[in-house]
Amino acid sequence: MVVSQKVLDALKQIGLNLYERKLWVALLSKGTSTAGELSSLAKVPHSRTYDVLETLADKGFVIVQSTKPIKYVAVIPKEAFERAKKKLREDTKVKIDRMERVEKSSEMKELEKVYKKGFKTVESAELTGSLKGKKALEEKLESSFKNAKRNISILTTRSGLLELQKNHTDNLKKAAERGVKIRIAVPFGKERIPELEELGKYAEVKNIPEKDISGRFFVFDDAHALMALTDEEVHPEEHLSFWTQSEHVSNKVLGPMFKFLWKNIK
């Protein structure tokens, strides 16, 4: 049975590669079959069929029968998805547990030493780049909030403030508890802003005239900066931002700019 391209695309989205998709669909149409039959039906090279079917079995989409010749049984799609999700959860938990153990180990301290030693030899120009997509910006912000030690200065917009409250309240709270001074400049006029009630617990917030300035940038410890380069209305995947660990940009350009603005806000 031939399925639509839409179905194949959906299977691709859940992580099945081309050969896995072809063989599983072919097996669904047969119910049970040998590797040779499936290779011909799905037009997958015979040399690859066995290992791909083993992978499908490992993921929960196929059952292997210990017969001669070996036969493969298709798992009902809904059950296959449930098996695959369960396996994914188990594998993810194992990996997270391993990572947490390494984080607490002496090996992590050794890795930190290697990084710090190498960091000293890197030119600031090399620690500069662009971030494509909203997700990349949010991940970089999360990391920067977690690593801030002294101060965080934020110039943002009304919708940017909402995203901060939605995605980073916990990070800002923990930073404040570490003694990090957090300042947020945002235009909101005389409007009552619910987000301020939560963020105001951990940061000092000032209202700036929207007609004078509207943009988004972040400065961390006067040494690390992030700036949005595109309008907020663009598609999340088209969002572009700039990051740098240049002290010149952070301490001589964006930092003083924020301090001047902060000082002159009424």
pLDDT of residue 64: 92
pLDDT of residue 77: 92
Domain segments of the chain: what residues?
A: 5-88, 127-264
Bridge partner list, 240 = 132
The pTM for the full model equals 0.59
Give the residue ranges of the chain where pLDDT is below 50: 122, 126
pLDDT of residue 115: 65
pLDDT of residue 141: 92
Which of 159, 176, 179 is CA-nearest to residue 167? 159
- With residue 218 as reference, give the H or E element that holds it: strand 217-220
Bridge partner list, 64 = 72
For 209-231, the three-class secondary structure string (H helix, E strand, C coil) is: CCCCCCCCEEEECCCEEEEECCC
Top CATH class of 5-88 equals: mainly alpha
pLDDT of residue 187: 84
Question: What CATH fold (topology level) applies to the domain 127-264?
Answer: Endonuclease; Chain A (3.30.870)
pLDDT of residue 173: 92
The 10s digit of each residue's pLDDT in 9-29 is 999 998 899 999 999 999 999
DSSP category for residue 225: E
Q: Is-contact 164 145, C-beta < 8 A?
A: no
The 10s digit of each residue's pLDDT in 96-140 is 999 999 888 888 887 777 766 655 554 555 467 888 888 999 999
Q: Order of strands, edge to edge, in the sheet holding 128-132?
A: 128-132, 240-244, 224-228, 217-220, 151-155, 181-186, 204-207
DSSP category for residue 15: T
Q: Which residue has the tokens 């001669």?
A: 68
